[in-house]
Amino acid sequence: RQCLPGWTVINSMCYFFALSEELSRRSWMDARHFCKRQGSDLLVINSREEHMALAEIVKMSRDPSRSLAHSGFWIGLRDADVEGSWTWLDGTRVEEGYWDNGEPNNQNNEDCAAMYPRENPFHSWNDAPCHWNLKWICERTPRPFSS
């Protein structure tokens, strides 16, 4: 087995989608802590292929009973250090990204990024307030399972 039970393997990486109502929704920081306890961190997207694969799964997770604003998944991207400078948790700067039209707009101090189920996968990101409770995506390398 490459990944922990409940995790999804895509192109040799392990992903966890916080889908269950039981896990509920969390702030960006609490979601990150959840990932860290599983030896992982919030999702860092390193390629267009990775983005497309994950955007597809996020799109399938769309719950019509919830508004789009509540359908986001936190990812490991924020501009908390320098406003407008979007940086992945691995330190990589985002130049273009896959923002929704008009985003990021920093409406009400929005320093954390989430991926939403949008028809067009190239317009799936939005910046939201970090204390907002959303679902999230963790990512880690396959094995060892020790941490």
Q: Which two tokens stand for residue 99?
A: 């923002």
The helix (run of H) or strand (run of E) holding residue 58 is helix 48-60
Distance in Å, CB of 146 to Ca ion, minimum: 38
Q: Which two tokens stand for residue 127?
A: 């910046």
In terms of CB distance, is 69 or 80 closer to ligand 2F8?
69
* In contact, 142 and 80? CB cutoff 8 Å: no
The dihedral over CA atoms of 127, 54, 85, 113, expressed in degrees to the nearest 10, equals 20
In terms of CB distance, is 110 or 139 closer to ligand 2F8?
110
Q: Which of 46, 61, 85, 105 binds Ca ion (CB under 5 A)?
A: 105
- Residue 39's binding partner, choosing from ligand 2F8, Ca ion, none, with beta-carbon cut-off 5 to 8 A by kind? none
Positions in the binding site for Ca ion (CB under 5 A): 103, 105, 107, 110, 126-127
